[in-house]
Amino acid sequence: MFNNKTILITGGTGSFGKKFTEILLKRYKVKKVIIYSRDEFKQFNLKNLELYKKYSKNIRFFVGDVRDKERLVTATKNVDYIVHAAALKQVETSEYNPEEFIKTNIIGAMNIAQASIENKVKKVIALSTDKAVSPVNLYGATKLCSDKLFVASNDYYGGEKTQFSVVRYGNVLASRGSVVPFFKSINKNKEFPITDRKMTRFNITLDDAAQFVFNCFKVMQGREIFVPKIKSYKILDVLNAIVNKPKIKEIGIRSGEKISEEMISSSDSVCTSEFKDSYIIFPLNYLKSNVCKKFINKYNGKNVKPGFSYNSSNNKFLTIKEIKELINKV
């Protein structure tokens, strides 16, 4: 479906954007990939990579901010598909800079939706996070609002043909900002600060995250929040995968943190269906429609039990051996 198509990736210079672009260029004969980001230095560095040189005729670098609707309207002309990966993401930072997170994560989402409809983009997938479920920090709250905006955009802006869906997933182990680089930076003979020994998180690799988005593009009809079935990890197991018998100092959770994360809350169980490799959350009014019922039957879905929740603490866990293998691949 991506052959001879133009795909725009907001936040295209980030970890996910680079992985998604790599797969697009290697697997499909795309017409054009537009890398939309506000960091011209990262764009400059990407231009000098062999992959980007090889496909230079198929790549367009576009300096812009999702806060700037006019720039987005220009960038999305003649675009077929959009992956919206741009966001401000640091939890602790969001608590002290709320207006900046609102401008990027909420106003930016509105701008993407409006520009997509104005230019008749066919499909848009917005990336989300487990922190958008029952949020206790401002970052999660802005992403929850963003999710709601994209789902509502299927109907809110006059019933145009643009389809909007959301992909929600967990932490990417060993990525920038994760605990792995932090633990590796500490001398093995010193104490390792742990926020809470009971802390758990969902885990997904960049490859799996990108592939899941490709899969969602193929089946989406608009309005869905797609959630992959993935394993969790225990923070202590991550540390033990890096250091043998570490000295631990428990320091307590930071502002805006949870002991465990959710990707589906019990409140969402009434509108969630389970499939082979994923769950999908539908708007309740849409779930009752014949279109949605046909979709669920087509892909052998079934309704989850009332009260079901998808929580990182009651999930299947990665073993220490599996965590070591994932870290070594990075």
Supply 289's token pair.
Answer: 């429609």
Tell me what the mean pLDDT of segment 114-140 comes to. Answer: 96
Whether 128 shows a pLDDT value over 90: the answer reads yes
Amino acid residing at 42: K
So what's the pLDDT on residue 294?
96
Phi, psi of 194 (to 5 degrees): -120, 130
Alpha helix segments (H runs only) across 133-272: 138-156, 179-184, 206-219, 235-242
Claim: this prediction has a pTM higher than 0.75: yes
Binning pLDDT at 50, 70 and 90, where does residue 280 land?
A: very high
Domains of the chain with CATH codes: 6-170+205-229+263-310 (3.40.50.720)
Among 152, 125, 128, 124, which residue's Cα sits nearest to residue 139?
A: 128
So what's the pLDDT on residue 177?
66
Binning pLDDT at 50, 70 and 90, where does residue 174 land?
A: low
Collapsed DSSP state (helix, strand, coil) of residue 233:
strand
Task: For residue range 81-121, list pLDDT tens digits in order.
Answer: 999 999 999 898 999 999 999 999 999 999 999 999 999 99
So what's the pLDDT on residue 181?
84
Task: For residue range 295-323, list pLDDT tens digits in order.
Answer: 999 999 999 999 999 999 999 999 999 99
Task: For residue range 42-91, list pLDDT tens digits in order.
Answer: 999 999 999 999 999 999 999 999 999 999 999 999 999 999 999 999 89
Whether 32 shows a pLDDT value over 90: the answer reads yes
Cα dihedral sign, 202-207-210-214: negative
Catalytic residue ranges: 131
Cα separation, 275 vs 266, in Å, equals: 18
So what's the pLDDT on residue 173?
75
For strands 59-63 and 32-37, give the pairing.
parallel
So what's the pLDDT on residue 158?
55
Q: What is the DSSP code string of 144-158?
A: HHHHHHHHHHHHHTS
Spatial CB neighbours of 312, under 8 Å, sequence gap ≥ 6: 130, 170, 200, 201, 202, 232, 260, 261, 262
- For residues 164 and 223, is the Cβ–Cβ distance under 8 A? yes
Tell me what the mean pLDDT of segment 240-247 comes to. Answer: 91
So what's the pLDDT on residue 78?
97
